[in-house]
Amino acid sequence: MEHTQHFLTRSACYQAGRTIVPKGIMVHATGVAQPDPEVFLRLWDSPQADACVHALVHQGGVIQTLPWTHRAWHAGTPRNGGVSANNTHIAFEILEPKGHTYQGGTMIGYDAEANAAYFAAVYQNAVELAAELCRQFSLDPATDIVDHQEGSRLDIASSHADVMHWFPRHGKSMDTFRADVARLLEGEKEDTMEQSTFDAMLEAALARRAAGLEGREVSGWAGDAWRAAVAAGLFDGTKPQAPLTREQAAVVLERLGLLREQ
């Protein structure tokens, strides 16, 4: 996922300077057939703009438009007097492809087969962004990620249908989205654990090998050279078969006069 920044510094939302402590993520779709993020950057980077999110998810990656802890304008006013997710949630918009229109909130003329590759790209970018945010703010994908429609039912957002007006056309839902985010995070955790386990095992093996060699006498084939090195003050005469560290090698080179200041 390519992650770039273009903060909407001219927007009234940005200039208000209000901050939040992120408690969740709200997923939106733009509700217009426009895949070009530059269109939204121009539209929303204005004092007259009445909407502002933290990021735009497009086919090529993610453009962050606000600091993650900045209070955005994305959720609207809940119908039943609840606290708006503007105060609690990081929000991003997934850009929709060209070629369809809307009637009463329903996509008209949308070709799911023709847009399969586009959807797969923006969906994956959204999953990766959500995983990154969950990791950064210690959020649980199972409980802390909602779309605008779910936010409305929870009374933390206005009445909108996104993203479930679109996801099911490609066999996806918010449940599959949350599961995919969780799967990505779990995979990263396993990779980290596997690497740390390998590093620990390697360190232990090297330590055991070093301990086993430290007590051995000098080998016959190296006896004369070893005694000459000890006589020259390069070594102290102990542990002839112990491993040589880089810092010990540097000391030997310095004693030989092979290190010169440049």
Domain assignments of the chain as residue spans, ordered by start: 2-188, 191-255
Spatial neighbors of 150 by CB under 8 A, at least 6 apart, are 174
Residues in a beta bridge with 52: 73
Point out the least confidently predicted range of 25-39, 158-172, 176-190: 176-190
pLDDT confidence of 197, banded at 50, 70, 90?
low
Rounded Cα–Cα distance for residues 218 and 20 (Å) = 67
- Say whether pLDDT at 230 is over 90: no
Rounded Cα–Cα distance for residues 259 and 261 (Å) = 7
Q: pTM score, two decimals?
A: 0.74
Residues in a beta bridge with 3: 62
- Please give the mean pLDDT across all residues of the chain: 91
Rounded Cα–Cα distance for residues 60 and 1 (Å) = 8
Rounded Cα–Cα distance for residues 115 and 111 (Å) = 6
Amino acid 235: pLDDT? 85
- Say whether pLDDT at 256 is over 60: yes
pLDDT average, residue stretch 13-25: 98
- The token pair at 117 is 């590759």
SS3 of 126, please? helix
- The larger pLDDT score, comparing residue 97 to residue 197, is at 97
- The larger pLDDT score, comparing residue 156 to residue 189, is at 156
SS3 of 235, please? coil
Q: Kindly report, residue by residue over 100-144, the tens digit of the pLDDT.
A: 999 988 999 999 999 999 999 999 999 999 999 999 999 999 999
Rounded Cα–Cα distance for residues 226 and 21 (Å) = 65
Assigned CATH for 2-188: 3.40.80.10
pLDDT average, residue stretch 207-216: 64
pLDDT average, residue stretch 222-226: 81
Rounded Cα–Cα distance for residues 166 and 31 (Å) = 9
